[in-house]
A and B are shown apart, each in its own frame.
Chain A
C-alpha cells in the first residue's frame, strides 16, 4: 500500500502506532493491506481461522459472540482508529467472535508475516507496538470484567433476586 500523507496522519493517531517515527510508519504502511466492506458484510465468523488484525479507517464494525440460535451478543462496536482481531494475530487461534460491518467500512489489515517483518526490520518500533498492545489488552480485560459484572446485574434485575439481605 502506498504511504500517502493522509494514511500516515491516520496511522499516527492509532494508539499502537503512536510512538512510531515517520520512517517506521512508512515501512509499516507498505505492509498494510487495505480492504473495503459493504454494509452488513461479514468479515469473519466466530471459529474461522485467522492470523490478521484489522484497523478501522472508516465506518463501524460490530464484534459479536453467539449466544443461542440466531442471537448474538454485541461485545463491542469498533470505530475509526480502533482495531480488532489482534488475538489471532498473535496466537493464530480461531476467531473468538464474529466481525461484521455495521456501515460501509474501510480497513487496514496487518498480517502475521508483516508483523514478523516489522519486528525484524524495526525492533524499536516493534517494542513500542507490543508495549502499547499490552496496555490495550489490559484495558480490554478491564472492560470484559465490567461486562461480566453488567451481565450479572442484568440477571439480578431481571429475576428480582434480592441477595443483599439474608
Chain B
C-alpha cells in the first residue's frame, strides 16, 4: 500500500494589522524534526556493553528496569540514545550523527524511536524547564504575562527560505574575493596593524574613554547596537562560505532566541555534507568579520584626536568586535559558537559540552567518581577552562566599565 503524504495543517498567521495575514503550510515532518525525545529517568534503565567474539563492533543491552524489557542496540544506536536528553532536537541529533560517523542512515532514527517507545524508554516533556515552570504557574498574572511576552517574542521571526539565489549572486558579484589568498593577507595585515593600534591606545585608556563625556553607559549601548549590525555581516559570510563550497544556504533571518536574545541566524547545515575543511572554513570565516572590523576600529581610534567621542566610540567598538571574535572562536565558554563546532569536529566528540557538564554535575553531587580516561580528562578540561574563561570575560568587562566610569 502506498504511504500517504505527510499530514499538513494550513495556518493563517495574523500580522499587526488586523486584516493582514500570511498563510503557512506546516507539515508534520517539521514538528518531527523539532521534537526533542527524552529518555526515561536514569534510575529507570540500565545499559551494558555486549562483547562478542564473532561480532567486530560492540553491541549494547538496554534494560527498562520498570518493565523488564530488553533492547539490543548497535554502537550507532547507543550514540543516538545518549543524545536523547529532551533538550536536543531530532535535527540536532541527526547533525551530531553525521559529525560522528561521517554519513547518515535515514531510517536509523525513526526505527530506534519506535523501538524505544515500544520498550517505554522515552518520555515526552516540555522543551524547556523555564517554559515548563511558567506553564505550571500560569494562574499567576505576572507569570502569565511573562509567558505571553516570551511566546510573542519567540513568534517574531523574519526569515526567508529562498535565499540561495541571493547568496549565489552576492558570491558572484564580489563575495568570492573573501576566499582568496589576497583576502587572507589583507586580514592578517589588518590584524597586526589593528593590534599595534590597540596596544598604543591602551597606554592612554583613561584619556581615551573620557571621550564618552561621562556617558559611558550610553556610549557602550550605542556601540552594542552597531555591533548588532556586524552580527548580520558575520552570518552573511557564513552563507558565502557555504556557496563557496557549492552547498545550499537554506534560510536567513532574524529572531529572538529563547524569547529574549535578539539575533540574526543563517542555516548552513548543508555544509555538513562537505569536507571537514569546508566546515572549518565556514565556521572560521564568519568570525573573522569581527577581526577585520575590530582592527579597522582600532586604527580609526588611534588616528582620532585623544579624548574625542570618535576615538572613544571606535576604541569601544574595537574592543567589542575583538571580544566577539574571541567568544566566537574560543571553544571553552559553555556556548556552542563557531570555535566550539570546529573543536568538536576536529576531536570527533559532537556532544562534548553536554557530556562534560553532565560528568561535572555527577562529580559535584557525589553521584559519580573521578576517573582517568581520555574522555574524562577532556570533560574536566572543558569545564575548568570554560569556567575560568567565563569568569575572566566577566572580570574584563567589569574592569572596562569601571575604567570608563571613573
* A residues apposed to B, CB below 8 Å: 40-42, 62, 64, 67, 69-74, 100, 150-151, 153-162, 165-166
Contacts and interface: CB of A to CB of B under 8 A. Distances in A.
A62 B10 CA distance: 11
6 contacts: A70-B14, A151-B7, A151-B9, A153-B4, A157-B29, A158-B31
Nearest to B116: A162
A40 B28 contact: no
Contact of B32 (A41, A62, A70, A158): A158
The main secondary structure of chain B at its interface with chain A is: mixed
Among A41, A73, A151, find the residue whose CB has the most chain B CB atoms closer than 10 A. Answer: A73
A47 B196 CA distance: 69
B394 interface: no
Interface string B144-163: 00000001100100000000
Contacts of A159: 31-32, 35, 124
A157 B13 contact: no
A19 to B, nearest CB: 34
Given A73-B11, A162-B118, A100 B19 contact: yes
B contact residues, range: 20 to 34
B35 to A, nearest CB: 6
B9 A154 contact: yes
Nearest to A42: B19
Given A40-B19, A161-B117, A72 B14 contact: yes
Among A40, A158, A165, find the residue whose CB has the most chain B CB atoms closer than 10 A. Answer: A158
Contacts of B11: 67, 71-74
The main secondary structure of chain A at its interface with chain B is: mixed
Interface in B105-124: 110, 113-114, 117-118, 124
Contact of A154 (B14, B31, B124): B31
Interface of B: 4, 6-15, 18-21, 23, 28-32, 35, 37, 90, 110, 113-114, 117-118, 124, 151-152, 155
Nearest to B114: A162
B21 A157 contact: no
Nearest to A40: B19
A40 B19 CA distance: 6
**3 nearest A-B pairs in the assembled complex, by CB-CB distance:** A158-B31, A157-B28, A154-B7
Contacts of B114: 160, 162, 165
A150 B10 CA distance: 12
Nearest to B20: A40
A100 to B, nearest CB: 7
A150 B9 CA distance: 9
B21 A158 contact: no
Contacts of A74: 10-12, 23
Contacts of A71: 11-14
Contacts of A41: 19
Given A62-B12, A67-B11, A154-B28, A160 B110 contact: yes
Given A158-B29, A160-B117, 12 more contacts: A40-B19, A42-B18, A42-B19, A64-B12, A67-B11, A69-B155, A72-B13, A74-B10, A151-B9, A156-B28, A159-B31, A166-B118
B21 A100 contact: yes
Given A100-B21, A162-B113, A73 B14 contact: no
B31 A72 contact: no
B275 to A, nearest CB: 31
A74 B14 CA distance: 12
Contacts of B6: 157
Given A69-B155, A70-B155, A40 B21 contact: yes
Contacts of A72: 11-14
B19 A158 contact: no
A161 B122 CA distance: 10
Contacts of B18: 42
Contact of A73 (B7, B10, B29): B10
Contact of B28 (A67, A70, A158, A166): A158
B35 A69 contact: no
Nearest to A164: B114
Nearest to A158: B31
A69 B12 CA distance: 11
B357 to A, nearest CB: 27
Nearest to B26: A154
Nearest to B28: A157
B8 A154 contact: yes
